[in-house]
């Protein structure tokens, strides 16, 4: 598969700084929030394809995917030529799923799903509602996008963005919380229920992350993302 024509190169050789407005919104969000040299597109079967410009990123994603494959938290995929096609065609991105309406039970289930990552020695490293997918028949959750991920006893040969190592196991829960908070503020803006949604979200995160740790993660994320603001391709030490 060739590189889509709606993606451009900049003069330094770093690609995909500019993406056509015609690109799928979920793919745009995935690309915008991806910390490595990758971009995303969707094929005619609604499967998401992740393209890599770096061999190390690609090889690590394959390794993490292989580790997770039989743990029932990721979708089937195929890979070749520095690209991975995740079979998202029978699923709905959580971002789109929430736009159709949700209830508090769904939020509880999402947080429980992500919290269980620690039981298998895995940290996603870039958790947000655009890389969680919902099987519309079974309502099971699945994740994609592993180039910023951690297998607890293994590390790739490149640097990734994250919080300090002491709080790494809380990083996914924190980022899910931030992603959902942004979603409700933006998508529910002006609706009477927005504050109740935000209040419920605060109650959920308090179950999983102590208030002092949450404050540390908030402070660390300000530094991390302010450093990242001007470039999609910044990587920093994982701590």
| Structural domains for the chain | 25-228 (1.10.510.10)
* pLDDT computed for residue 151 by the predictor: 92
* pLDDT computed for residue 154 by the predictor: 80
**Residue 15 in this model has a pLDDT that exceeds 80:** no
Closest among 33, 58, 8, 17 to 175, alpha carbons compared: 33
pLDDT, average across residues 221-236: 54
Are the beta carbons of 197 and 188 closer than 8 angstroms? yes
In this predicted model, which residue has the larger pLDDT, 29 or 15? 29
Structure tokens at 110: 């999402």
pLDDT band at 7 (very low <50, low <70, confident <90, very high): very low
> What is the pTM (predicted TM-score) of this model?
0.84
* pLDDT computed for residue 231 by the predictor: 40
Report d(CA 225, CA 231) in Å as an integer: 10
Are the beta carbons of 18 and 8 closer than 8 angstroms? yes
Report d(CA 107, CA 89) in Å as an integer: 23
Contacts of 213 (CB under 8 A, 6+ apart): 167, 170
Range of 22-31, 116-125, 155-164 with top mean pLDDT:
116-125
**Residue 230 in this model has a pLDDT that exceeds 50:** no
How crowded is the C-beta side of 138, counted as CA atoms within 13 Å?
Answer: 8
């Amino acid at each position: 598969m060739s590189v889509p024509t709606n993606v451009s190169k900049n003069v330094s050789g770093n690609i995909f700084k500019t993406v056509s407005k015609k690109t799928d919104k979920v793919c745009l969000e995935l690309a915008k929030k991806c910390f490595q040299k990758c971009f995303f597109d969707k094929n005619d079967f609604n499967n998401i394809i992740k393209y890599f410009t770096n061999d190390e990123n690609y090889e690590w994603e394959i390794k993490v995917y292989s580790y997770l494959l039989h743990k029932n938290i990721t979708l089937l995929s195929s890979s070749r030529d520095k690209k991975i096609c995740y079979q998202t065609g029978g699923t709905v991105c959580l971002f789109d799923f929430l736009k159709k309406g949700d209830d508090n039970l769904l939020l509880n289930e999402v947080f429980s799903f992500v919290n269980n990552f620690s039981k298998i020695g895995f940290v996603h490293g870039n958790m947000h509602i655009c890389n969680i997918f919902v099987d519309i028949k079974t309502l099971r959750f699945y994740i994609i996008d592993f180039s910023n991920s951690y297998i607890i006893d293994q590390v790739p040969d490149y640097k990734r963005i994250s919080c300090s190592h002491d709080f790494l196991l809380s990083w996914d829960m924190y980022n899910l919380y931030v992603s959902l908070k942004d979603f409700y503020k933006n998508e529910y803006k002006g609706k009477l229920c927005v504050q109740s949604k935000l209040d419920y979200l605060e109650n959920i995160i308090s179950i999983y992350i102590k208030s002092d740790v949450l404050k540390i993660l908030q402070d660390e994320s300000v530094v991390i993302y302010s450093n990242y603001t001007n470039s999609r391709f910044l990587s920093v030490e994982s701590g």
